[in-house]
Amino acid sequence: MDERRLIESLLSDGHVNQSQLKMWSDAAGLLAALDAIGREGASAVFKFDGARVDGLVYTVVVSGGRLGETFFRKDSDDFASLLVEAVEFYKTRVWSDSV
């Protein structure tokens, strides 16, 4: 099954909705930035943890590579703002030096 058919199936079955798809689509650039961070030799991890009882189901960790001993790790219930914080953290510490 290709990606489009799978998404259509998940939508029709009620597992995801259009609002969720839009939120993640809007965050695609931030996910691309995490991909770029990983391709530079750092680790970028985005975790979904539905077992958490505090509602902070998203975790982002950015570490290694040119960050050295410095790292970013945070939990949140808002994936978009969490991605922004993680990318800004890396940008400030690594990419701002490479201009």
Residue 98 has pLDDT above 70, yes or no: no
Cα–Cα distance measured from residue 22 to residue 6, given in angstroms and rounded to the nearest whole number: 16
Q: For residue range 67-96, list pLDDT tens digits in order.
A: 999 999 999 999 999 999 999 999 999 999
The DSSP secondary structure of 37-96, one letter per residue, reads HHHTTEEEEEEE-TT-SSS--EEEEEEEGGGTT--EEEEES-HHHHHHHHHHHHHHHTGG
Q: What is the domain partition of the chain in residue ranges?
A: 30-97
> What's residue 91's pLDDT?
97
Cα–Cα distance measured from residue 62 to residue 90, given in angstroms and rounded to the nearest whole number: 8
pLDDT band per the 50, 70, 90 thresholds, residue 97: low
Q: For residue range 25-43, list pLDDT tens digits in order.
A: 999 999 999 999 999 999 9
